[in-house]
Structure formats: C-alpha cells, structure tokens
C-alpha cells in the first residue's frame, strides 16, 4: 500500500517537533546533544562541587568532575554519620 503525498507529510510531521524555531527529528536532537557532550568532554570545564559553600572548584573533564563530586559527597555523608554516632554515644 503506497502513501499519498498528504499522508506522507502528515506522518513525517508527526515524527518532528519544533526546537529553537526549527523542525527537528529525534535523531537531529540526539546528534546535537552528543556533539555538545563531546565538546565539553574535550575542552574541560570548571564546576563547583561539594556542599555549595563556594570553597571547592574542580577543572577537568566530565568523568573527573563526577568522580571528585562523588568523593566529596561521600566524605560529607561519612562526617554526618560520625556526628550521629557521637551523639548516640553521648560524646561531643
């Protein structure tokens, strides 16, 4: 069964949507995001990590920043747990 022109146009429009004023397919948007991620990974970036007190910034690629952030958050949780244990034991 062949599609007529009107049906084909309607089907193709259903597979696209507007973004930044242009019609895009999902593949267009995925490719655009993948390129942006690769650009950021290649150029590196600086990001504040930790509890948001503005004392620690890490510059590097995405994976390095995520690793530093995970470490800092883990240390923060351990410090909170130590304080909870001290309180439970009646220590200061």
Interval 45-62: pLDDT, tens: 777 766 777 787 877 877
From CA 56, how far away is CA 51, in angstroms rounded? 9
**pLDDT over threshold 80, residue 83:** yes
Per-residue confidence band for 33, with pLDDT thresholds at 50, 70 and 90: confident
From CA 23, how far away is CA 62, in angstroms rounded? 30
In angstroms and rounded to an integer, the radius of gyration of the C-alpha atoms of the chain is 24
Q: Are 69 and 49 in contact (CB under 8 A)?
A: yes
Predicted TM-score (pTM) of this structure: 0.43
Specify the pLDDT at position 80.
Answer: 92
Specify the pLDDT at position 12.
Answer: 62
For residue 3, which phi and psi values (nearest 5 degrees)? -85, 145
């Amino acid at each position: 069964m062949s599609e007529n022109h009107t049906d084909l146009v309607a089907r193709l429009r259903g597979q696209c949507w507007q973004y930044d004023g242009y019609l895009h397919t999902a593949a267009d948007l995925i490719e655009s995001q993948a390129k942006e991620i690769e650009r950021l990974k290649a150029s590196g970036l600086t990001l504040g990590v930790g509890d948001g007190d503005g004392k620690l910034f890490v510059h590097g690629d995405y994976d390095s920043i995520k690793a530093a952030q995970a470490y800092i958050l883990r240390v923060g949780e351990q410090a909170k747990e130590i304080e909870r244990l001290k309180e439970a034991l009646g220590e200061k």
